[in-house]
Structure 1
Amino acid sequence: MHSFLSFFETMPVWMKVGWVFFVLTIFWIFEGYYKLVFTKYNKWRHAKTNLILLAFVMLINVVFGIATVGIFLWLSDSSFGLLQLFDGPVWLELLLSIMVLDLIAQYFVHYLLHKVKWMWRLHTVHHSDKNVDVTTGTRHHPFDFIIRETFALIAVVIMGMPIAFYLFYRILSVLFTYFTHANISLPKQLDKALSYIIVTPNMHKFHHHFQMPWTDSNFGNMLSIWDRLFGTFVYGKTSEIKYGLDIADHRDDENILQQLRLPFDKSIHYKK
C-alpha cells in the first residue's frame, strides 16, 4: 500500500496532465457510441470554450501547488489533524481522507456555490452550458475554481493527511468529474444501482437541468451518500432534462469572453 501511494507523490507533472487528457479522450470516444442525449451541435467548437477554461484551471493549479507544498510541510512538522488522533491501517486512513475531501471539497463547497449569492454568480458559468458533455467537467470560472481549491486545502488541514492521500484523491476526482459529465448512457438499471454508492452520469445530469428544483440537487462528485444523507438526492426520467440555465439562456454559452463576464453581468437577476 505504501509503495502504491508513494507513486502519486513522485508522479511527474506531464503524467498528471496526461491523465486529464487521457480521461477526457476516453469519455469523448464513448460519447460517440453510447449517447444519452442526441442533440446537434458543433462538438469541437463547444469543447474550445470549455478547454480554454481548463487552461485557466491548470494555471491556478500551479499557484495552489506551491501553497499545497507549504501546507504539507507544516502538517508534517506539527502533527496536526484528525488522522494524528488514532493509529489505523493505511487503507482506512486513506478511505477516511477521501470521504472527508469528497464531503468538504466537493459536496459542501458545491452546496455553498448554489446557496450563497455571490458564489452562485461565479458558478453559473458551469451551468450555462447548453450541451453537457465530458468537456463540461472542465468548465469552471477561474474564481469558482479558486474557491473549490481553497476548500480542498481546508479538508487537508482538518485531516492532517499525507500528500499522497491528497494526490490520489485528485486523480480519482478527475476520473469522476469527466465520467459524470460525459454524455454517455449506462444501462438504466446499472446506473440506478451504482447511484446508491457513487455519483453516476444520469444522476449528475439532473443537476444540470435548467430550472429549479433539480438545479439544486445532486451536489456530490464521487460518493452519492452525501446527497442521500442531506436530502438533496434526485433521480427521475432523464428525458425530462433540459440543459442550460434559465436566467442565462439568452447568453452565448460558447463565447469565452461572455462566459468570463457572466458573473458580473448586471442584466442577469440572480435569485438565491
Structure 2
Amino acid sequence: MDAFLSFFENMPTWQRLIWLTLILGGFWILEGYYALVRFKYNKWIHARTNFILLAFVLLVNLLFGFLTAGIFIWLDESGFGLLHLFSLPIWLELLLSILVLDLIAQYFVHYLLHKVKWMWRLHLIHHTDTHVDATTGTRHHPLDFILRESFALIAVLIMGMPVAYYLFYRLLSIFFTYFTHANISIPNSLDKALSYVIVTPNMHKFHHHYQLPWTDSNYGNMFSIWDHMFGTYVYENTANIRYGIDIVKDDKADNIGYQLGIPFNRKIKTKN
C-alpha cells in the first residue's frame, strides 16, 4: 500500500496531464459510438469553448499548487488533523480522506453554488451548456473553480491527510468528472443500480436539466450517497431532459466572452 501511494505522491505533472487527456479523449470517442443524445452540432466548435475554460482551470490548478504544497509541508510538520488522532490502516485512512474530500470539496460546495446567490452566478456557466458531453466537465468559470479548490484545501486541513491521498483523490475526480458528463448511453437498469453508490452519467444529466427542481439535485461527483442522505437524489426518464438553463439564452452557449461575463451581467436575473 505504501508503494501504491508513493507512486501517486511522486507522479510528475506531465503524467497527470496524460491521465486527463486519456480519460477525456476516451469518453469523447465513446460518445461517437454510444451516444445518449444524438446532437446536431459541431463537436469541435462546442469543445473549443470548454477547452478554453479548461485552460483557465489548469492555470488555477498551477497557482493553487504552490499554496497546496505549503499546506502539506505544514501538516507534515505540525501533525494537525483528524487522521493524526487515531491509528488506522492506510486503506481506511485513504477511504475516509476520499469520502471527506468528496463531501466537502464536491457535494457541499456544489450545494452552496446553487443556493447562495453570488455563488450561483459564478456557477451558471457550467449550466449554460446546451450540448452536455465529456467536455462539459471542464466548463467552469475560473472564480467558480477557485471556490472549489478552496473547499478542497479545507477538507485537507480537517483530515490532516498526506499529499498522496489528495493526489489519488484528484485522479479519481478527473475520471468521474468526465464519466458523469459524457454523452454515453448505459443500460438504464445498470446505470440506476450503480447510482445508489456512485454518480453515473444518467443520474448527473438530470442536474443539467434547464429548470427546477432537477437543476437543484444530484450534486455529487463520485459518491451518490450524499444525495441519498440529504434528499437531493433524482432519477427519472432521461428523455425528458433539456440541457441549458432557463435564465440564459441558449444561443450564447459557445460565446466565450459572454460566458466569462455571466457573473457580472445584471441583465441575467437569478432565482435567488
Match of 1:31 in 2: 31
Instruction: Output aligned runs, 1:234-245, within 5 Å.
Output: 234-245=234-245
Match of 1:44 in 2: 44
Match of 2:257 in 1: 257
Change (3 A) 1:32 1:251: closer
Match of 2:189 in 1: 189
Q: Distance in 1 between matches of 2:210 and 2:21?
A: 28
Match of 2:211 in 1: 211
1:77 aligns to 2:73 (yes or no): no
Report the alpha carbon displacement of residue 61 of structure 1 after superposing the two structures with TM.
Answer: 0.5
Q: Is the 8 A contact 2:5 2:164 kept in 1?
A: yes
1:178 aligns to 2:173 (yes or no): no
User: Which moves more between the two structures, 256-265 or 230-239?
Assistant: 256-265
Deviations 1:142-175 (A, max 9, x none): 0000000000000000000000000000000000
Deviations 1:199-237 (A, max 9, x none): 000000000000000000000000000000000000000
Match of 2:124 in 1: 124
1:202 aligns to 2:202 (yes or no): yes
What amino acid maps onto 1:92 in structure 2? L
Q: Is the 8 A contact 2:130 2:250 kept in 1?
A: no
TM-score by length of 2: 0.99
Report the alpha carbon displacement of residue 263 of structure 1 after superposing the two structures with TM.
Answer: 1.2
User: Which moves more between the two structures, 162-171 or 14-23?
Assistant: 14-23
Q: Is the 8 A contact 2:107 2:226 kept in 1?
A: yes
Instruction: Output aligned runs, 1:40-119, within 5 Å.
Output: 40-119=40-119
User: Which moves more between the two structures, 29-38 or 197-206?
Assistant: 29-38
Q: Distance in 1 between matches of 2:153 and 2:49?
A: 28
Report the alpha carbon displacement of residue 38 of structure 1 after superposing the two structures with TM.
Answer: 1.3
Q: Is the 8 A contact 1:176 1:221 kept in 2?
A: yes
TM-score by length of 1: 0.99
Report the alpha carbon displacement of residue 250 of structure 1 after superposing the two structures with TM.
Answer: 4.6
**Structure 2 gap segments, 5+ residues each:** none
What SS does the corresponding residue of 1:8 show, helix, strand or coil? Answer: helix
Q: Is the 8 A contact 1:251 1:258 kept in 2?
A: no
Match of 1:14 in 2: 14
**Structure 1 gap segments, 5+ residues each:** none
Q: Distance in 2 between matches of 1:270 and 1:219?
A: 19
Q: Distance in 2 between matches of 1:262 and 1:105?
A: 23
What amino acid maps onto 1:242 in structure 2? R
Q: Is the 8 A contact 2:105 2:148 kept in 1?
A: yes
Q: Distance in 2 between matches of 1:43 and 1:264?
A: 28
Q: Distance in 1 between matches of 2:47 and 2:185?
A: 20
Q: Distance in 1 between matches of 2:209 and 2:250?
A: 16
Q: Is the 8 A contact 2:128 2:250 kept in 1?
A: no
What amino acid maps onto 1:259 in structure 2? Q
Q: Distance in 1 between matches of 2:139 and 2:250?
A: 18
What amino acid maps onto 2:31 in structure 1? E
Q: Distance in 2 between matches of 1:7 and 1:39?
A: 40
Moved over 2 A (4+): none
Q: Report sequence identity in percent.
A: 68
What amino acid maps onto 1:239 in structure 2? A
> RMSD of the alignment, in Å?
0.6
